[in-house]
Structure 1
Amino acid sequence: MQYDVVIRHARLHRSPELVDIAIQNGAFARINKDLSSAAAAREIDADGRLLSPPFIDAHVHLDAVLTVGQPRYNTSGTLLEGIQIWSERKPSLTHEDVKKRALEEIRWEVAQGTLHIRSHVDICDPALTALRALLEVREEVRDICDLQLVAFPQDGILSFPHGRELMRKAMEMGCDVVGGIPHYEWTRDMGVEDVHYAFALAKEFNRDVDCHCDETDDPLSRFTEVMAADTIEQGWHGRVTASHCTAMHSYDNAYAFKLIGLLARAQMNVVANPFDNVVLQGRFDTYPKRRGITRVKELLAGNVNVALGHDSIMDPWFPLGRGDMLAAAQLALYLCHMSGFDEIDTVFDLITANAARVLRIQDRYGIEEGKPANFLLLDAPNAFEALRLLPARLHVFKNGREVATTTPAHSVVRRAEQGEGEQMVTYRPQ
């Protein structure tokens, strides 16, 4: 049989053996140790490199990307100043401005192997400028990236004028997921109502829920438990995500143990955002300073699904970043003390298989016969080396079509001794 593409001598995650992979009509047609008899219009020799399902960015804000310094920089580095700066930037948003920045950042992510993105969109704007732009972007990028949009009330559902109405309008316009921000509401009671309203909308529109929740160092911020209770009461198991949950870093261990058990019972997801979490949290500490990121390792041990997001990319909350989910995973490895050999494989799952569960795309995600041929080939032999090196994403394919390529950089060392020529530098084990 003549296939469209055959990838030879590829290594899959957690698999010691090399395989050949045949692609036909945009799907994985055959995966076998030896397809030497198979012919293809194009062949790629992976030469033992890691072939992975595409990376997933489970939490980002495409409406705010690439606005760092506009109108000013965040000098305190706090979440609250970031929100204030964004409120100053929002009035100057235009349809074209949002689209241009979002499309540029999506290209950055695709080039680095991310083909699925969940973006929160600020709907605290009576004109819903950013949402209208990103609804167009969602359609325009379908050939290179699948985009989910979350109706996100940055300034609160109850604390912002007509917040409830704007949330409903956002869902009517086509948002994929209902958001919330209970810890930012003015009072505890308003925060609880924020969660209840988000779940009511989700039930009405048959949508998943993904709330920014307990994104603070305050150990008394405990809205994640409210989300878990609503999940169980409404039967929304597996359809709810609590994003950030950084207060969990500050909870006493007895309460954290109880909460983790409740999250597991509700089959909730938690999304951590290493870049923003470590930069924004702990700003009011002297020493020791808290890392801020949620209890990723303990959540996983408690059978709670955890994934990662990039969150901010050059915006009022995080001035750096280039949309690399592998870099986000590497930072999580450091912050969460997940440097054990087996743990490193698990960290790789946080931006692949675990994130697919958050977006609920497992039925069409993964390197399996019959599934869409979405994958990337890394210039590394396994997840351990990928997380160590952050190597080039050599080839990125969506539905069997190559959508991005990268040529690895190389370095040359020139020796001074007589007779010594140029020597290539390689960081991969030989």
Structure 2
Amino acid sequence: MTNQETLLRSRDQNLKSFLMQRIAQNGGWVNAHMHADRAFTITRDSFDIYQKQTLIEKWDTVDRLKSSMSTDDYYRHFSMAIERMIEQNVSAMGTFVDIDPICEERAIRAAIKAREHYQQDITIKLVNQTLKGVIDKEARYWFDKGADLVDIIGGLPRRDERDYGKGAEHLDILMTTAKRLDKMVHVHVDQFNSQEEKETEQLTDKTLEHGMHGRVVAIHSISITAHDIAYRQALYKKMQQAQMMVIACPFAWIDSPRREDHGPTRNALTPVDELSQAGIVVAIGTDNISDYMLPFSDGDMWEELKLLITGCRYTDLDNVIGIATTNGRRVLGIA
């Protein structure tokens, strides 16, 4: 064997090659969480928003972009995001879609059109984004309209907690709607890496209360690791009881600012190692792609998985492959 052949063989047998091969054998990547309607919308001029504003401030600032986009604009950005997934051998994706008083039905109509166009290449599950909450009368009107158009009911309880102190009521509305329509629920929770947050626990409690066992998925759950080990272990037992599932989006929160509060040493990553050891299904997603929220993310699934493995020091490769493939199908309700 020549030196070149030896080098090529070594390259082909490295861990990345092994994982990529096994992921392909397991049906291809699954991007379980993204926001395709806003993908590739960041510009040099709008980059200042990313630099100067918090995530909560961006919830309203992004209205400028949404109000200016037509159905054709949304379709173009959906198509760009979908093709980015297809080129990576992503077999299925779940995307939140803004359906609210600002963009009304423009984004969801574009999403449905794009899903039909690419149906031979990728399975797409649509989830309604509740960026305006579900308590406000007009926001509730668009939530109800959107709930009928999507595959999965989406939620953001922090919005209604911020505006009305009604995060729990937000979750009640999600759960009752999902039960009525026989749909799963995906909810953004514990996004700020803070001891003040216990949204994953609140979501778990609501899952048990509404009898939605195995039908509810937490997205992010970063703040779990801000709490001590006793709290975390008790939470995992409760999550097991509710058959909760979790989607990690590693790149989404790695830029979290330094904090001065005291607590367990941690990073801004979903604790996939502890969750998986507790028997909780974890999948992976890219979250936002090249937009106001994540301007430097280009939707690279391998980079997301690599960051998750490295940041959590998680070396159970069989489960890593499941996180990238079969677990994603489970959280999206794909048989």
- 8 Å Cα contact 2:37-2:111 kept in structure 1: yes
State the 1:121 CA deviation.
Answer: 0.9
More strand by proportion, 1 or 2? Answer: 1
Q: Which amino acid aligns with 2:34?
A: V
- 8 Å Cα contact 1:148-1:177 kept in structure 2: yes
Q: How does 1:251-330 map to 2 (within 5 A)?
A: 251-279=227-255, 281-282=256-257, 284=259, 291-330=267-306
Instruction: Please report the TM-score for the alignment, with normalisation by the length of structure 2.
Output: 0.85
Distance in 2 (alpha carbons) for counterparts of 1:294 and 1:188: 28
State the 1:84 CA deviation.
Answer: 4.0
Of 57, 73, 80 in structure 1, the residue corresponding to residue 56 of structure 2 is 80
More helix by proportion, 1 or 2? Answer: 2
SS in 2 for 1:350: helix
State the 1:344 CA deviation.
Answer: 3.0
Q: Which residue matches 1:217?
A: 193
SS in 2 for 1:59: strand
Of 127, 133, 137 in structure 1, the residue corresponding to residue 114 of structure 2 is 137
- 8 Å Cα contact 2:240-2:279 kept in structure 1: yes
Of 129, 138, 141 in structure 2, the residue corresponding to residue 165 of structure 1 is 141
State the 1:323 CA deviation.
Answer: 2.4
SS in 2 for 1:109: helix
- 8 Å Cα contact 1:152-1:179 kept in structure 2: yes
Of 123, 131, 156 in structure 2, the residue corresponding to residue 181 of structure 1 is 156
State the 1:139 CA deviation.
Answer: 1.6
Distance in 1 (alpha carbons) for counterparts of 2:319 and 2:71: 40
Deviations 1:350-393 (A, max 9, x none): 111111211122x3xxxxxxxxxxxxxxxxxxxxxxxxxxxxxx
Instruction: Sort the Cα spacing of 1:287 and 1:258 in 2 relative to 1 into closer, same or farther, 3 A.
Output: closer
- 8 Å Cα contact 1:56-1:351 kept in structure 2: yes
State the 1:88 CA deviation.
Answer: 2.3
Work out which of the two has the higher radius of gyration on C-alpha atoms and give 1 or 2.
1
- 8 Å Cα contact 1:59-1:120 kept in structure 2: yes
Q: Which amino acid aligns with 1:129?
A: R
Q: Which amino acid aligns with 1:72?
A: S
State the 1:108 CA deviation.
Answer: 1.2
- 8 Å Cα contact 2:200-2:224 kept in structure 1: no
Structure 1 gaps of 5+ residues are 1-46, 364-430
Instruction: Sort the Cα spacing of 1:166 and 1:304 in 2 relative to 1 into closer, same or farther, 3 A.
Output: same
Q: Which residue matches 2:322?
A: 349
SS in 1 for 2:36: coil
Of 32, 35, 60 in structure 2, the residue corresponding to residue 58 of structure 1 is 32
Structure 2 gaps of 5+ residues are 1-20
Instruction: Please report the TM-score for the alignment, with normalisation by the length of structure 1.
Output: 0.67
Say if 2:172 is the partner of 1:196. yes
Q: How does 1:10-89 map to 2 (within 5 A)?
A: 51-69=25-43, 72-73=46-47, 74-76=50-52, 78-89=54-65
Number of aligned residue pairs: give it. Answer: 312
Q: Which residue matches 1:232?
A: 208
Distance in 2 (alpha carbons) for counterparts of 1:354 and 1:336: 18
Q: Percent identity?
A: 27
Distance in 1 (alpha carbons) for counterparts of 2:158 and 2:297: 26
What is the Cα-based RMSD across aligned positions, in Å? 2.6
- 8 Å Cα contact 2:213-2:244 kept in structure 1: yes
Distance in 2 (alpha carbons) for counterparts of 1:81 and 1:317: 11
